[in-house]
């Protein structure tokens, strides 16, 4: 049983982090979208901490737009996260205080500036080999149970299992009395139209690479459509927390959740 758990937790986690983030351009013109901060830390850091809380500690980050900033962040991780003393009187000595250690192994791969999502996945195939792996997007946070997701995938025998959620409606709902034309109430729409959408947080078998043509392949289109047509695409339904940082409004909501102690993705101790 212990060996089985060790094998499961040895799975690599692929994170797509190379897009331009045009819908949040007020932030992304300065940095890649996964480096936009939530509560003072890049959303990419939150994603890594979440996976790590389940024991997944080996990551492959697919970079593109401003990818050097992601490399710089991890190259100087201790500097970003620790107090430091620069003692110029002692021959330019640098002291790192409260050195923060993470159990992570991170491979940062330049997957091309204009490469599409499928192409980015295809490019990291040499780092995966013939192994099962996990994949998610660099802009979404959730409290998806990763162990249950894995078990669902294993039982299904599918090539890919993706997580699905019902998104919260973006617009408030008016309660209208049509008889006299008055508004009787206003409330937030709890769910959308009962439709399920792709939330990321996927598990994949290595044969998925055979469904991706090259750099221009959009993973969410032809590859997933082919897998679906062949009965090789499974789903894990998630009824809990999920937010995607697509716009400045989304970032504000995530910041508020973090500040108010409602960050349900925070599964780790401080």
Q: What is the pLDDT of residues 115-138, one digit of tens each?
A: 999 999 999 999 999 999 999 999
Host H or E run for residue 83: strand 83-87
Taking the C-alpha atoms of residue 158 and residue 160, their distance in angstroms, rounded to an integer, is: 5
Using alpha carbons only, give the angle 54, 55, 59 rounded to the nearest 5 degrees: 105
Could you report the per-residue pLDDT of 160-216, keeping only the tens digit for each?
A: 999 999 887 765 555 666 676 655 566 555 555 667 899 999 999 999 999 999 999
- Number of Cβ within 10 Å of residue 91's Cβ equals 6
pTM (two decimals): 0.89
Tell me the Cα Rg of the chain. 21
Q: Which domains does the chain have, with CATH numbers?
A: 2-166+194-259 (3.90.550.10)
Residue of 218, 203, 221 lying closest to 158 (CA atoms): 203
Beta bridge partners of 27: none
Residue 197 corresponds to which tokens in the numbers above?
A: 């959408």
pLDDT of residue 173: 59
Taking the C-alpha atoms of residue 209 and residue 121, their distance in angstroms, rounded to an integer, is: 8
Q: Which residues of the chain have pLDDT under 50?
A: 1
Phi, psi of 84 (to 5 degrees): -140, 150
């Amino acid at each position: 049983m212990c060996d089985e758990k060790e094998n499961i937790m040895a799975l690599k986690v692929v994170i797509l982090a190379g897009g331009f983030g045009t819908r949040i351009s007020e932030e992304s013109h300065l940095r890649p979208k996964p480096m936009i901060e939530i509560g003072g830390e890049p959303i990419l850091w939150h994603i890594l901490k979440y996976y790590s809380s389940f024991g997944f500690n080996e990551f492959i980050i697919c970079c593109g737009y401003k990818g050097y900033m992601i490399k710089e962040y991890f190259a100087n991780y201790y500097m970003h996260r620790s107090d430091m003393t620069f003692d110029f009187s002692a021959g330019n000595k640098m002291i790192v205080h409260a050195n923060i250690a993470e159990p992570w192994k991170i491979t940062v791969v330049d997957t091309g500036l204009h490469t599409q999502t499928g192409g980015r996945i295809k490019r990291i195939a040499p780092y995966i080999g013939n192994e099962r792996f996990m994949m998610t997007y660099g802009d979404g946070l959730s409290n998806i149970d990763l162990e249950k997701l894995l078990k669902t995938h294993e039982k299904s025998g599918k090539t890919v299992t993706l997580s699905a959620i019902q998104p919260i409606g973006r617009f408030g709902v008016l309660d209208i009395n049509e008889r006299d034309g008055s508004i009787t109430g206003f409330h937030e729409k709890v769910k959308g139209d009962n439709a399920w959408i792709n939330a990321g947080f996927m598990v994949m078998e290595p044969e998925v690479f055979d469904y991706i043509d090259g750099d221009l392949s959009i993973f969410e289109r032809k590859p997933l459509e082919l897998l679906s047509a062949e009965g090789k695409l499974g789903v894990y339904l998630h009824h809990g927390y999920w937010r995607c940082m697509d716009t400045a409004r989304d970032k504000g909501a995530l910041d508020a959740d973090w500040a108010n102690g409602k960050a349900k993705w925070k599964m780790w101790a401080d």
